């Protein structure tokens, strides 16, 4: 009888521990789901930026997007430019911190640069999610395409990190002449599933940004950059996206010591200039 009682108590104790473990696991999963928007879209405070567009030789505009949103846009014009480049920034960036870099792209590549903030970033109002921010990117792309100031020019989309998904969206929706990708991914869900492998991320993640499903329809020129030691977006996910592109004109720059948040390396500046000149000659 005592053996039976001890066995029964042990079984009940084990059952309680199992229930607790399941409860903790489910609680952690719910917390991760709740925090997803803040992890995918960690928009910095706009108060930290320099919003004097004219100090960078830029002009300011607002573009109408879906749901009555107004997307904040800076245009960096270049005299006699033959190409307009639309820049899609990463998830921890915004216009107020990008003026110097955008003006450098304008001057070094001799292109017009159009940069913008997604929903919930900088001075673009609203709450970000995948559908809304992609719609914002396409709205800016259509604004550029229909703008008389950019008529008869080549169109290139350049996206960094999360912005790579937005550049892919612009490139596939508008069939741009060129697409430039800087340390981006096949999908956010691929990256998240590799990091949080103990959770059913592929079932519950809302913002999946599956660029890999879209890029096969792009037939323009592709220039892509990734580092083997990228600690945020592992190299294999950039390579996976590159391999999915069916364009006959594509190039992947692989650098052994390039981390995710490092500035654009000299190799990309040089290759970018050659890339744009090649597009302009067609």
Residue-averaged pLDDT of the chain: 93
Residue 180 near residue 159 (C-beta atoms within 8 A):
yes
The pLDDT value given to residue 23: 80
Give the sheet arrangement for strand 178-182, strand by strand: 59-64, 70-76, 112-116, 83-88, 154-160, 178-182, 221-227, 250-255
Average the pLDDT over each of 35-44, 176-185, 232-241 and give the range with the smallest value.
35-44
The percentage of residues in the chain with a pLDDT greater than 70, rounded to a whole number, is 96
Domain ranges of the chain: 1-40, 43-280
The pLDDT value given to residue 13: 77
Q: Is the pLDDT of residue 156 over 70?
A: yes
Burial 115-133 (b: 16+ CB within 10 A, else e): bbbbbbbbbbebebbbebb
The pTM score is: 0.93
CATH node for 43-280: 3.40.50.1820
Summarize pLDDT for 10-64 with one digit per residue, the tens: 666 777 778 787 788 778 777 777 789 999 999 999 888 999 999 999 999 999 9
Average the pLDDT over each of 23-27, 55-59, 117-121, 211-215 and give the range with the smallest value.
23-27
E runs forming strands in the chain: 59-64, 70-76, 83-88, 112-116, 154-160, 178-182, 221-227, 250-255
The pLDDT value given to residue 28: 76
φ and ψ at residue 234, rounded to 5 degrees: -55, 145
Q: How far apart, in Å, do the first and last CA atoms of the chain sit?
A: 90
């Amino acid at each position: 009888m005592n053996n039976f009682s001890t066995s029964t108590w042990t079984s009940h104790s084990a059952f309680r521990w199992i229930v607790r473990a399941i409860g903790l696991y489910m609680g952690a999963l719910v917390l991760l789901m709740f925090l997803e928007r803040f992890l995918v879209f960690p928009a910095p405070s706009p108060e930290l930026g320099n919003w004097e567009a004219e100090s960078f030789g830029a002009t300011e505009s607002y573009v109408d997007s879906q749901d009555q949103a107004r997307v904040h846009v800076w245009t960096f014009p270049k005299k006699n430019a033959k190409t307009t480049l639309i820049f899609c920034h990463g998830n921890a960036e915004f216009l107020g911190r990008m003026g110097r870099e955008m003006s450098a792209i304008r001057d070094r590549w001799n292109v017009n640069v159009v940069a913008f903030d997604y929903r919930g970033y900088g001075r673009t109002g609203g709450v970000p999610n995948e559908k809304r921010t992609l719609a914002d990117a396409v709205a800016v792309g259509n604004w550029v395409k229909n703008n008389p100031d950019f008529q008869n020019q080549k169109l290139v989309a350049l996206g960094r990190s999360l912005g790579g998904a937005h550049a892919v969206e612009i490139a596939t929706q508008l069939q741009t002449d060129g697409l430039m990708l800087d340390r981006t991914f096949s999908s956010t869900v691929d990256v998240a599933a590799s990091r949080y492998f103990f959770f059913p991320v592929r079932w519950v993640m809302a913002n999946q940004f599956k660029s890999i499903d879209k890029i096969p329809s792009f037939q323009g020129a592709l220039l892509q950059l990734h580092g083997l030691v990228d600690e945020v977006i592992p190299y294999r996910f950039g390579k996976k996206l590159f391999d999915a592109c069916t364009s006959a004109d594509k190039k992947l720059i692989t650098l052994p010591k390039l981390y995710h948040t490092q500035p654009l390396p000299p190799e990309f500046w040089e290759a970018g200039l050659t890339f744009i000149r090649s597009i302009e000659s067609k």
